[in-house]
Structure 1
């Protein structure tokens, strides 16, 4: 027989309802707002670092050679203060993962049926994105600087049944996500993440332009990553393709340093908008 924590008999429904109430309480807690704000600051720092490394790459002064979260985190660990900041960033990203998991399980109560399932799926995908960044941050902190050997992940997937098509499909999903980011930037839908005071006046206007530049630039960069993944799958290339590869591809185009500089500044603007979102959080 199932028993409740106080030793009394209970049913699965009772326990489920109590778990639901506990989850709802956590999701609505003002403390969660504080944790989310900390996480968004960490997310903003991550994008400022990526923008800075990309700008260095554009003009030939990047010491890491990787305009990605990994390259940005590696630059941080070059000093004691930077290492301390990176620990804060890593913890902040974990807080964002917890937020999105709670949101997927107990949030989106204003939606019904399929719409709610889709919204929950989006929250899980965001949790996975933040989790990947957190993993990269912790790996950078705990590693001795050695690179990871072994077979690239893309090559491993290509060896699976229908692996080529899985890689192509994954690349198309990445392109779709990049397109969604561009749409959110152009349509200004990102403003829904700010409370009313964050949308008005001169400050609100600055936030709006940070958001437009940030979402469009990030969408373009992510879209290029997707194109490279699709190309790798279509041509049976086993290379992993990431943000550093996408920005290096931009660098090879006519006026490449200038184009890459614009994208780098845009990614930095996304970081600044993350700070604005932390200050004017509207869930």
Structure 2
């Protein structure tokens, strides 16, 4: 038995560099998606086209670019790598995170795994449209559907607050190999992370409020995702300015993800044994 355990431990050690590579490519792919969303929002805010988009819209847009199928394929594979890393973080818990954080990793894994598949389908010419309202309607048809939507909305609200607090305290720097950065890289990373995570937090809180209200009112039409959050900002007083600020925030988040891909500190998965 000890020999089997030792071999399993050794296997994790051997495969870990490949998992790390997949994870780092995943952070880049996720950054590309948010860069596309941010760029479209910025174009809309400045009256140059664009529009409010969600993540599936972004991968569909990538597939329509010159060499788009190849780009969407690479992004899709990267997102699947990111989903794998988040799943392993949720299961093996290398950093000893609490249950709430691990649940978040699992949800992230499912979300970006689905997005990765959507990107690969878009590369093959079969595009999927995001439908937050349709998904909410399906949930409401299930036993306890209202409660599920309310809980999901509250979780997103909590995640949004946590993201903003993370941005304010710059706690995200703790998961990065800052010793490998020079002063300029640290400054750029901290600035991009603060702006980007704050913007992400606002989006989480808006989508969380949409879901919570949809659950309370049993009305799927009140649900919404990133696209609806951006549309709400655009329709508000000073809409172009608010949409422009959010666009800058999402572009900053994309830049931070690219830096995280390079500097992310990844604890050995084998070190997870014994964490609760």
- Which bracket does the TM-score occupy, shorter chain normalised? 0.7 to 0.9
CA contact (8 A) 2:69 2:124 kept: no
Alpha carbons of structure 1 residues 231 and 26: separation in structure 2 relative to 1, 3 Å: farther
Q: Is 1:280 matched up with 2:263?
A: yes
By relative contact order (CA 8 Å, sep 6+), the higher-ranking structure is 2
Q: Is 1:86 matched up with 2:68?
A: no
Alpha carbons of structure 1 residues 162 and 281: separation in structure 2 relative to 1, 3 Å: closer
Candidates 48, 62, 71, aligned match of 2:57: 71
CA contact (8 A) 1:185 1:211 kept: yes
Which structure has more helix as a fraction of its residues? 2
CA contact (8 A) 2:118 2:128 kept: no
Shift of residue 220 of structure 1? 0.3
Distance 1:100 1:221 in 2: 21
Q: Any unmatched runs of 5+ in structure 2?
A: 267-276
Shift of residue 133 of structure 1? 2.4
Alpha carbons of structure 1 residues 260 and 147: separation in structure 2 relative to 1, 3 Å: closer
Shift of residue 75 of structure 1? 1.8
The residue that corresponds to 2:31 in the other structure is 44
TM-score, scaled to structure 2: 0.84
The residue that corresponds to 1:8 in the other structure is none
The residue that corresponds to 1:216 in the other structure is 198
Root-mean-square deviation over aligned CA pairs:
2.6
Please identify, of 34-43 and 269-278, the stretch whose mean Cα deviation from structure 2 is larger. 34-43
Shift of residue 262 of structure 1? 0.6
Alpha carbons of structure 1 residues 213 and 47: separation in structure 2 relative to 1, 3 Å: same
- State which structure, 1 or 2, has the greater radius of gyration over its C-alpha atoms: 1
Please identify, of 69-78 and 179-188, the stretch whose mean Cα deviation from structure 2 is larger. 69-78
CA offset digits 1:137-183 (Å, max 9, x no partner): 2343334457589x812111112222112211111111111111111
